[in-house]
Chains A and B, each alone.
Chain A
Amino acid sequence: MSLALGLVIIPLLAALLMLLWPRLARGLQLAAALLCTILATMLLQLVQQEGSQQLFIGGWNPLLAIRWQADSVTALLLLLSAVLHLLVSGYALAVQQRDKLAAAFWPLSSLLLASLQALWLSRDLFNLYVCLELLGMVAVALVTLSGDKAMRPALHYLLFSLFASLCYLLGVALLYGAYGALDLPLLQGQLQANSLTAAALVLITLGLMLKAAWWPLHLWLPAAHAAAPAPVSALLSALVVKGPLFILVLVWTTLAPAAFLNVAAYAFLVCALGALLLAGVAALRTPYSKTLVAYSTVAQLGYAMLALALMLSFNLPVFTAALWLFVMAHALAKAACFLSIGEMQQTLGVKKVAQLKGASQTMPLAMFAFAVAGGSLIGLPPSGGFLAKWVMLLGLWQAQQYFLLLVLLVATLVSAAYIFRVVVLAFDRAEPTAPDFSPQLLPQWLALLPALAVWAMAFFSMPLLAILQQELS
């Protein structure tokens, strides 16, 4: 379990050292990111061999101490965030001079990693609150790095985030008052189906839905993610919104009394339909390229919601697998999308989708990265998005949910429409937008890397499913 501690402490320490010696920031960032990736890999191996690991911080007994747990899903998420952090750090290093990336990026992004890793590990309602709050603050601070134009979206984000945290905290306080425990495994099965529990769960869910930008509470997300610098958008869309999602899944699969599950499933289902269809249409209509990608995040989160709703209403392990596969595939693909779009925006000096005209001639590599990542968002084989969708499809056929199959079909076509809205434009040969300076190759390759990784994911479906299945048994 010292591995797990290391995963949180190393980035935290790195952030502190960066504040002390700003000159060493870049070196520290890379070293910490590399170290975290290695540790996360080792932890995953450990969990696979010896089953899930537990740690009680401070060595107290479970009632007092904070419980951290590294099960297989957590280990996968730890590895995912470490790898993406490493990649985005590499990208930031490659473009920092050109894009005039603020020095605050380095300590903040390390803090982001630390709070996120702690969130994946924590199994204590209050500790989760702390991680969530920290994560939100750091995320807001990162959005403001874009300068004045990002202030308004950042402020909105901050307000929504604070309100959401308060909701969550209130819910947790209610639960603590009634049951006297914050530890998730201790609370498991204890909650009674009364109005107090209901109120607490509604508050917690509302807060988390706001933070995770679940439709229809997503209003802050497109502006904030679009305003942030490209590496920050990549981190926010790929990882940060998955944090509250993770807690939601924990709360609803371990805490909630069985009597509430059906209602919750319906509510989540409605949100999922709204996200998949309406946010998809919003992505189709927005004139700005980064907003398009941001709306696509809201839409893609709909798959996770759908999987959660189905998890709650059917006792089929496929949906759990589908949920985490969606999370992983989306994280990789979205990082690639934001990095490639950001790269094109910077080089071509444009913001609108229509101005990406001819990008496949001027910046073929970045455009290719976007298209490849988009293929996974659509769910084309053989990509991670396909794998997730395939697993979900099998479950839906098994559960005979014909209406949802139809929804999935339409949602797939909508996502194809907004991805290819950009890609088709890139092949326009008449008056392509000329680059402001000659395109740099390294950042484009770094944008392509996660896109290739998400396609490679499909070929590791057996081990991935085995790891996720380990969780279920």
Chain B
Amino acid sequence: MTALLPYLPILIILSSLLPGLIIFSLKETQIKLRTWLNMLGVTVKLIFVWLMWRAVKAGQEVTFSLPFLPGADLVLHGDALSLLFVILSSILWLATTIYAIGYLEGSPLRSRFFGYFSLCVSATVGLALSGNLVTFLLFYELLTLATFPLVVHRGTAQSLAAAKRYLGYTLGGGVLLMFGVALLHMLTQSPDFTPGGYLLPLVASDRALLQLAFVLLIAGLGVKAALLPLHGWLPQAMVAPAPVSALLHAVAVVKAGAFGIIRVVYDVFGVQSIQQLNVATPLMLLAALTILYGSWRALAQQDIKKRLAYSTISQVSYVTLGVAMLGPLAAVGALVHLVHQGVMKITLFFCAGNYAETLGIHDIRELNGVGKRMPLTSLAFTVGALGMIGIPPTAGFISKWYLGLGAAEVDQGWLIGVFVLSGLLNAAYFLPVVYRIWFTQQRLPWPHPQQLSKKLETHWMLLSPPLFTMLLVLLMGLFASTDISPLSWSELIVEREFSYD
């Protein structure tokens, strides 16, 4: 086992990359083989991730590096923080793969879809495991390229327009990120990510350049994290198939941006440099504004997926806000919200996809009485929605609790006001939906009902993923204090990586 250890990061990437490449070459009709390859990739990846988790938990460091640019090797590094994101995306990939197989049953061009699907996850785990900024940049751009064919997959005029906009935003962001990384590389090369950052010695001499670099990096990452003026692509990207939306919102793209912000703040600049550069407050304000703006816009949406999209804009900024507060408790909140938001949001998207696929429901007004027709899906949706609002005992409560504590710790009381207001808005746009589902009578016939299963309310491959993630939402909330919960892992990260605790 120990001989395998240094290769684990690359093996984790290859476990989805290789099946993906093989899938490209398969014929449309080789459905069984494709499904097997997919499931094999997921299983092997989970085994490797488990091995790495054991090693990191025991305090070992896992590093794999290849020579790349002068002064910047291609470094893959497994530490507690990267593992948080790797575990999240691997487990959710399992759920999303099963869901996608069910969702796309019988539709054309599935080899292409699943090929890019695997590439997308490979890029995401690569990004999570990146050990320095140049490696991060590389996977960040690869992620853009791998997700674009998924966004455009349906090939309608609408999805072409959405894909163009998506590319415009993300490539623009990628270029900004590249400029920022190059600036930092010019100043100090690109050393490995270090807890506490590596730029402190430069703060006195190159203050303005460092501030510029920070702005460039955050702007580049902010595009994917959908920070306020850069969020325009996200609601439009909703035309993609439901598994892709789930991937964009919970597993890959949006999370990649948020994760990048965490890395840049804690492991590139470090809390001390950020404080001395006075750049945290603008970021905090921007994040707070995004939280309120996203919630406010979500209120007005009548399309289920659109409402969820604006809700994502708002919820992901909790992570950014938690990071920008620069306190340890807020850091715990931000990290744990990265996981919790992912699991909750993916549940909601799975459910939205189920309503659309089984009954043809896209509009919130059509949901009346759907709780009777699809009780399990509706249950999952309800749990996800309650989690988003932050009602105990769901996972959402835990992360908001820590974020609130963090705000109090760093004496930013007004942020608690932001959390309360946003929580109220969350309730205002989720509770009426839940009310419609359970407590109103069906008025009109379902728009486009399909019989996908004889016994169950819908196809089992569509039903099991949301139930699985719903269970996770509850377990992560109920057992937050046990030592395998995301919360305790986040506390471990904060303890280990952030010098101030």
- Which A residues fall within an 8 A CB radius of B? 358, 360-361, 364, 375, 378-382, 387, 389-390, 393-394, 397-398, 405, 409, 412-413, 416-417, 420, 424-425, 427-430, 458-459, 461-462, 465
Contacts and interface: CB of A to CB of B under 8 A. Distances in A.
Contact of B183 (A364, A397, A420, A429): A397
A429 B155 contact: yes
Contact of B155 (A378, A381, A427): A427
Contacts of B185: 394
Given A390-B69, A394-B185, A361 B109 contact: yes
Contacts of B157: 428, 430
Given A379-B178, A381-B138, A461-B69, 10 more contacts: A378-B171, A381-B142, A382-B68, A394-B185, A397-B182, A405-B179, A409-B175, A416-B171, A427-B153, A430-B157
A148 B6 CA distance: 63
B164 A424 contact: yes
A371 to B, nearest CB: 8
Nearest to B182: A393
A393 B172 contact: no
Residue of A358, A361, A413, A429 most packed against chain B (CB within 10 A) = A429
Contact of A424 (B67, B69, B152, B186): B152
Contacts of B109: 361
B171 A413 contact: yes
B186 A428 contact: no
Given A387-B69, A430-B155, A430-B156, A382 B182 contact: no
A32 B478 CA distance: 74
Contact of A427 (B145, B149, B183): B149
A358 B163 CA distance: 15
A420 B179 CA distance: 21
B445 interface: no
B282 interface: no
B137 interface: yes
Contacts of A358: 155
B145 A420 contact: no
Majority SS at the chain B contact face? helix
B297 interface: no
B31 interface: no
Interface in B384-442: none
B68 A459 contact: yes
Given A393-B178, A397-B182, A409-B175, A424 B68 contact: no
B175 A412 contact: yes
B68 A461 contact: yes
A427 B163 contact: yes
B70 A427 contact: no
Interface residues of B, number: 35
Contacts of A459: 66, 68
B270 interface: no
Interface string B155-193: 111001001100110011011101100110110000000
B459 interface: no
A151 to B, nearest CB: 38
Interface of B: 66-70, 109, 112, 137-138, 141-142, 145, 149, 152-157, 160, 163-164, 167-168, 171-172, 174-176, 178-179, 182-183, 185-186
Given A416-B171, A461-B70, A393 B145 contact: no
Contacts of A382: 68, 138
A393 B187 CA distance: 12
Given A424-B160, A429-B155, A364 B178 contact: no
Contacts of A405: 179
A303 to B, nearest CB: 15
16 contacts: A360-B149, A375-B145, A381-B141, A381-B178, A382-B138, A394-B185, A397-B186, A405-B179, A409-B175, A413-B172, A417-B168, A420-B171, A424-B152, A427-B155, A430-B157, A459-B66
A425 B69 CA distance: 34
A20 to B, nearest CB: 45
Contacts of A397: 182-183, 186
Q: Which 3 A-B pairs have the closest CB atoms?
A: A429-B155, A393-B182, A397-B186
A398 B167 contact: no
A192 B474 CA distance: 83
A307 to B, nearest CB: 15
Contacts of A389: 178
B163 A424 contact: yes
A390 B182 contact: yes
B464 to A, nearest CB: 30
Nearest to A394: B186
A380 B141 contact: yes
B69 A409 contact: no
Contacts of B171: 378, 413, 416, 420
Nearest to A432: B155
A416 B169 CA distance: 11
Contacts of B164: 420, 424
A146 to B, nearest CB: 33
A419 to B, nearest CB: 10
Given A375-B145, A390-B182, A424 B70 contact: no
Contact of B67 (A394, A425, A462): A462
A424 B179 contact: no
A302 B260 CA distance: 33
Nearest to B155: A429
Contacts of A458: 68
B138 A409 contact: no
Residue of B69, B167, B185 most packed against chain A (CB within 10 A) = B69
Contacts of B152: 424, 427
B192 to A, nearest CB: 18
Contacts of B179: 393, 405, 409
Residue of B149, B153, B154, B182 most packed against chain A (CB within 10 A) = B182
Nearest to B149: A427
B79 to A, nearest CB: 23
B76 to A, nearest CB: 14
A405 B212 CA distance: 13
Nearest to A410: B175
Nearest to B172: A413
Contacts of A430: 155-157
A394 B69 CA distance: 12
A428 B68 contact: no
Nearest to A406: B179
Contacts of A424: 152, 160, 163-164, 167
A413 B175 contact: yes
Contacts of A428: 155, 157, 160
Nearest to B174: A380
A461 B66 CA distance: 12
Contacts of B156: 429-430
A445 B346 CA distance: 39
A152 to B, nearest CB: 35
A364 B68 contact: no
A200 B170 CA distance: 48
Contacts of B112: 360, 364
